[in-house]
Structure 1
């Protein structure tokens, strides 16, 4: 019998002063049985960073032909393809043919090693921008997890500030070049 996903409810108060975007987002997250809590929380952060009314979560780990998030216009055309983790250049090359904008958010202890091996090939792809979350920041994301979360994400001058009723965290997202 297959394991079922764990469902989380998130109320995300987003204050992105860089883009003058102030929204309350009610999200339902399905955590795939093989997905870590850190990865799930990175999805929430990336949603906030890239917020758009047409942005949504996909089947994620359950699908090999969809990204983690995508922005699909009213006409059904994918406008922004968003990957998480340490994607291969081949996977990103497929995304280049499907969307005009591709973003990759890497995280984990092995990001530097992965980027040393794959970075040149990824950087040469058109339309792809890559960023990294620092491992020490991502490690603290599990402190925010509960089945029902009320989170506040403030983005100012490119820095992220995540908080709930008991936890506060400043995160760094750096461009990978």
Structure 2
């Protein structure tokens, strides 16, 4: 854990109908001092939307060697490289060479996130997934954030329904490749 990190807890009820994933999660999330609330909420949602056996948060912003979220198999081999925010092309190229799949979850305008990648070398760029939410969704969700959080995440037909500390929010889940 990074020095000065703030710990947030999330008790999550996850119901991802699209993938057939239903679980209760108890997450302890270390928020680095330079990490925004919007980035942290996006990181938690990426974890929930990618949830499978072997998933874990990495060291986060304090680690330059790993993405925000990783999935490893039982042998420790890297299966998924899941970035949050706006990583550069070199980082995605590196991650794509190490993992079977790469995804980027962003709370920003996806066109602006992807624009710097144009023309850059990214291994298996055609397989990369860029996931975003409706404009303002993350900013609205951040208003309900506290240090201890109760959260329900429901996904059906690529629609995300979020209840965070008694407040409800919804958004479409937008997914695109990179052009």
Residue deviations 1:38-63 (CA, integer Å, cap 9, x gap): 11111111111101121010001001
**Map of 2:21 onto structure 1:** 21
More divergent stretch after superposition (125-134 vs 16-25): 125-134
Greater mean alpha carbon deviation, residues 136-145 or residues 122-131: 122-131
Q: TM-score, normalised by structure 2?
A: 0.89
Q: Distance in 1 between matches of 2:28 and 2:50?
A: 17
Deviation digits for residues 43-84 of structure 1, max 9, x if unmatched? 111111101121010001001110000001110100011001
Q: How does 1:138-177 map to 2 (within 5 A)?
A: 138-177=138-177
Q: CA RMSD in A?
A: 1.9
What is the aligned residue count?
175
The aligned residue for residue 32 of structure 1 is 32
Mapped partners of 1:113, 1:127: distance in 2: 19
Partner of 1:76: 76
The runs of 5 or more residues in structure 1 that have no matched partner are: none
**Which of 161-170 and 75-84 deviates more?**
161-170
Is contact 2:149-2:165 (8 Å) kept?
no
Match of 1:96 in 2: 96
SS at 1:172's partner residue? strand
TM-score normalised by structure 1 residue count:
0.90
CA distance in 2, matches of 1:40, 1:106: 11
